[in-house]
Amino acid sequence: MKTERRPYRQTARAAAAAATRERILDVATAHFLERFYDDVTLVAIAKEAGVSQQTVINHFASKEGLLEVVAGRLDPEHARHADLADPVTNVVEDYEPFGDAVIRMLALEERVPALAPFLARGRTGHRAWVAGAFAGQLPDPADAAYDQALNLHVLATDIYTWKLLRRDMGLSLEQTIDHMRALIAALAAANS
């Protein structure tokens, strides 16, 4: 007597693997944002995620492979899309929670190729955001002065400018916003 075979479905196994992968990514994201790249280890990520190091390697192949996936899920312009009413405050508040992590990533850019797509998205996104946020004070895009004016606005609101003011000079959040606003006001005066 032949019995009819039921098709074997691996849905539970696939769901468990997906949940494990997400747990690893959540832990790895926190580690990469809070630490220098060289201080992040697969052993520590595995331990905190409740898996073996081999499981992390099976999912991501290497630390750089894991970083590449983590960077792919981060949005470098995450908070800036919401509010253009006060673009300077908006950009500074966007830098506050993740600015130090991005500065660390920028320092590793040439050494860790997995960061390149994330950082390229950040640069492109920041430039596009500046073009939209300050469109009212920039020259017409057809004007020869447009590129220079846009570049100066990018510089005035760049993460390195934030770092210089907040970290290197030790200014408060409000002082940093005031200084960036002064830079933008000077650019507006120069363009009028």
User: How confident is the model at residue 5, as a pLDDT?
Assistant: 63
As a residue count, the chain comes to 192
The reply to whether 52 falls in a domain is yes
List the domain range (segments joined by +) for residue 146.
Answer: 87-191
Same domain, 99 and 184: yes
The 10 Å Cβ neighbour count of residue 162 is 24
Neighbouring residues of 93: CB distance < 8 A, sequence distance ≥ 6:
79, 173
pLDDT along the chain (192 residues), means of 10: 61 83 92 89 94 93 90 67 76 90 91 88 92 92 95 96 97 97 92 71
Same domain, 61 and 93: no
Same domain, 47 and 130: no
The reply to whether 62 falls in a domain is yes
Same domain, 64 and 116: no
Same domain, 103 and 47: no
56: CATH? 1.10.357.10
User: How confident is the model at residue 154, as a pLDDT?
Assistant: 97
The reply to whether 186 falls in a domain is yes
Same domain, 20 and 107: no
Same domain, 97 and 187: yes
User: How confident is the model at residue 77, as a pLDDT?
Assistant: 59
User: How confident is the model at residue 114, as a pLDDT?
Assistant: 86
User: How confident is the model at residue 58, as a pLDDT?
Assistant: 93
Same domain, 104 and 55: no
Same domain, 104 and 187: yes
Query: Is residue 74 a contact partner of residue 118, using CB atoms and an 8 Å limit?
Result: yes
User: How confident is the model at residue 2, as a pLDDT?
Assistant: 63
The reply to whether 1 falls in a domain is no
User: How confident is the model at residue 80, as a pLDDT?
Assistant: 57
Same domain, 67 and 100: no
Tell me the CA distances in angstroms from 16 to 8, 19, 21, 27, one per residue in order.
16, 5, 9, 17
CA distance 86 to 97: 18
The reply to whether 128 falls in a domain is yes
The reply to whether 172 falls in a domain is yes
Same domain, 93 and 185: yes
The reply to whether 82 falls in a domain is no
